[in-house]
Amino acid sequence: DIQLTQSPSFLSASVGDRVTITCRASQGISSYLAWYQQKPGKAPNLLIYAASTLQSGVPSRFSGSGSGTEFTLTISSLQPEDFATYSCQQLNSYPLTFGGGTKVEIK
Amino acid sequence: EVQLVESGGGLVKPGGSLRLSCAASGFTFSSYSMNWVRQAPGKGLEWVSSISSSRIYIYYADSVKGRFTISRDNARNSLYLQMNSLRAEDTAVYYCARRYSGYTGDAFDIWGQGTVVTVSS
């Protein structure tokens, strides 16, 4: 099974900060990686797929990069509404797996 | 509007059964692979099961294999999850999700609002 390790698991940042979250896969997954944002009590919302493709309607301050085993999600200028938990997911092979999540707190 | 609506959650005793449903609307349901994902209280997302558009390919997480059965009815635009031999650790919010398969990659692009399953005596 492919394990996804996200870091950090928690971060606190100020509005306007640049934030980077890392997701490492235990084996190569090409670009079959997606990023989701989830707010308390809500379903996950797709932000990025294919490692770097921005989902329609998602603000351009979100971006993704990487391939193989190392991936990053970047928020270029953190906004108050970005308080949420971010999770990566690999869709390269079954069983599909998610990272443990990164909770972003606004300072 | 593209939408997924889950139902069927509730409180069940250990060893009991429950059947979850997911009603799809606003898109051609029969063209998409569908999935169940769960989230235990305070925990991360866990993929549970997937079924291909034609029902040929079915996959399960090891944690539910042999106890859960995924199915779909393309004529009714519905996805199901039959859950048997439920355990306390199956307690979670269960989401259905559509798998988008694009030119450059895949993702779960549409999610339902979730249905809560609580396994407790």
CA distance A93 to A96: 6
Which residue among A50, A87, A97 places its CB closest to the CB of B105?
A50
Phi, psi of B65 (to 5 degrees): -60, 135
What parts of chain B have a pLDDT lower than 50? none
Phi, psi of B14 (to 5 degrees): -55, 135
For residue B102, the model assigns a pLDDT of 83
Percentage of chain A modeled with pLDDT above 70: 100
Is A107's pLDDT higher than 90?
Answer: no
Do residue B105 and residue A31 have CB atoms under 8 angstroms apart? Answer: yes
Do residue B109 and residue A46 have CB atoms under 8 angstroms apart? Answer: yes
Do residue A98 and residue B44 have CB atoms under 8 angstroms apart? Answer: yes
Using an 8 Å CB-CB cutoff, list chain B residues near A34.
Answer: 105-108
Do residue A44 and residue B45 have CB atoms under 8 angstroms apart? Answer: yes
Using an 8 Å CB-CB cutoff, list chain B residues near A94.
Answer: 50, 59
Omega prior to A95 cis, within 30 of 0: yes
Phi, psi of B109 (to 5 degrees): -95, -20
Task: Work out the mean pLDDT of chain A and round it to a whole number.
Answer: 97
pLDDT band at A81; cut points 50, 70, 90: very high
Judged by DSSP in three states, B42 sits in coil
pLDDT band at A56; cut points 50, 70, 90: very high
For residue B103, the model assigns a pLDDT of 83
Residue in chain A closest to B99 (alpha carbons) equals A91
Q: Which two tokens stand for residue B111?
A: 């999610």
Do residue A31 and residue B114 have CB atoms under 8 angstroms apart? Answer: no
Q: Mean of the pLDDT values across residues A40-53? A: 97
For residue A26, the model assigns a pLDDT of 98
